[in-house]
């Protein structure tokens, strides 16, 4: 049994997982895993070199990628792949769509599984994604599942992107979010759904402070 504590934060895109994960990491001093970034990086690397629908070829690329997450706050975080700064490309909306295309593949998911587990180091880990509580860290001490309406998530994403200097359109974003949700929720391997023992938080209409107040109450109750 692995005694290093894990808190999982799952949910669809644009629901505030990043904010909750950062806040929990700061509160606990634990490490962080942004599992979506791993799928995004692999999709980008694959798009440059192989056919994205050739899942065996995509999966084969996973072990050779040298990935580093640097910085701790939203403003100074960077993602280095093979020593190069990929932050902007990784965060682009189009990359999220590419990632969800390869994420349907059991081979691709298996290739990333151990890499994700490797982030579980002392003193603990806050892991965010789609299947952290259901597949990767089933023995997590606290599991959260965040949700919100697609419109609200598109609106938040629009603000996030514009802060990062990336142009986007509300209607297109809404459409992309719905399409990505449908793909993530309906796939046969590790579909997006709450673990049986996860706490559900519907963040529609809630301020960031109100969401964090709920998270704080749950984390105190779980002994964090």
Does position 129 bind ligand C5P by CB under 6 A?
Answer: yes
For the CB of residue 47, give the shortest distance to ligand C5P in the complex, in Å. 14
Does position 103 bind ligand C5P by CB under 6 A?
Answer: yes
Does position 156 bind ligand C5P by CB under 6 A?
Answer: no
* # residues contacting ligand C5P (CB under 6 A): 14
Q: Which residues contact 156 (CB under 8 A, 6 or more apart)?
A: 14, 16, 148
Q: Is 67 in a helix, a strand, or coil?
A: strand
- What is the phi-psi region of residue 14: left when phi exceeds 0, alpha when psi lies from -120 to 50, beta otherwise? left
Does position 36 bind ligand C5P by CB under 6 A?
Answer: yes
Q: Let me know: does 195 contact 201? Beta carbons within 8 Å.
A: no
The Cα–Cα gap between 112 and 190 comes to: 13
Which of 31, 32, 40, 120 is the binder for ligand C5P (CB under 6 A)? 40
Going residue by residue from 163 to 202, which x/- string records binding to ligand C5P, judged by CB under 6 A? -----------------x---x------------------
Residues found near ligand C5P in the complex (CB under 6 A): 13, 35-36, 39-40, 96, 99-100, 103, 129-131, 180, 184
């Amino acid at each position: 049994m692995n005694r290093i504590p894990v808190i999982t934060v799952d949910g669809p895109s644009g629901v505030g997982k990043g904010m909750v994960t950062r806040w929990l990491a700061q509160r606990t001093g634990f490490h962080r895993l942004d599992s979506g970034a791993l799928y995004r990086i692999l999709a980008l690397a694959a798009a440059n070199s192989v056919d994205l629908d050739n899942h065996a070829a995509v999966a084969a690329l996973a072990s050779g990628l040298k990935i580093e997450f640097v910085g701790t706050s939203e403003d100074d975080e960077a993602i280095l792949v093979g020593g190069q700064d990929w932050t902007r490309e990784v965060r682009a909306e189009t990359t999220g769509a590419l990632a969800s295309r390869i994420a349907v593949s059991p081979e691709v998911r298996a290739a990333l599984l151990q890499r994700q587990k490797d982030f579980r180091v002392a003193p603990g880990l806050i892991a965010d994604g789609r299947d952290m509580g259901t597949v990767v860290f089933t023995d997590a001490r606290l599991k959260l599942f965040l949700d919100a309406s697609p419109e609200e998530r598109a609106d938040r994403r629009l603000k996030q992107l514009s802060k990062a200097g990336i142009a986007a359109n509300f209607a297109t974003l809404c459409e992309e979010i719905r399409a990505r949700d449908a793909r993530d929720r309906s796939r046969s391997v590790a579909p997006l759904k709450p673990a049986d023992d996860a706490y559900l938080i519907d963040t529609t209409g809630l301020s960031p402070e109100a969401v964090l107040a709920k998270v704080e109450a749950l984390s105190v109750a779980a002994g964090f």
